[in-house]
Amino acid sequence: MLVLSRSMWLLRRMVSWLLRRAELPTQQDLAGPTAAQTAGASRRLVRDPVCGVHVDETLSVPLRDDGEFVHFCSIACRDAYAHTTRKYAANG
């Protein structure tokens, strides 16, 4: 019984130590936001017309359609959009 209680006490201390270390700010957190984080705050989200997902404009897959850019989350969505557009254009 004594060994079990001592083991539980050590386990609790180790878990509390790990939790306290996880809550401590890192050196990078103390330095403030980086240039990439501040630049990311000004990025624009665009909506994929096929699946409806919002994507960062700089990471999207663009397609020029009737003189305007349409942005997609993936090449598969872009191809699906292009395929349906061609189908509607063929039907007239």
pLDDT per residue rounded down to tens, the chain (92 residues):
888 889 999 999 988 887 777 665 655 555 555 555 555 556 789 999 999 999 999 989 999 988 889 999 999 999 999 888 766 555 55
The pLDDT value given to residue 73? 92
Please report the pLDDT score of residue 77 as a whole number.
92
What pLDDT is recorded for position 80?
Answer: 92
**H helix runs in 1-92, sequence order:** 2-23, 27-31, 35-40, 75-91
CB atoms within 10 A of CB 70: 21
pTM here?
A: 0.50
Here the tokens at position 45 are 């989200």
What is the per-residue pLDDT for 65? Answer: 85
Domains of the chain, with CATH numbers? Answer: 44-92 (2.30.170)
Instruction: Identify whether the C-beta of residue 45 lies closer than 8 Å to the C-beta of residue 57.
Output: yes
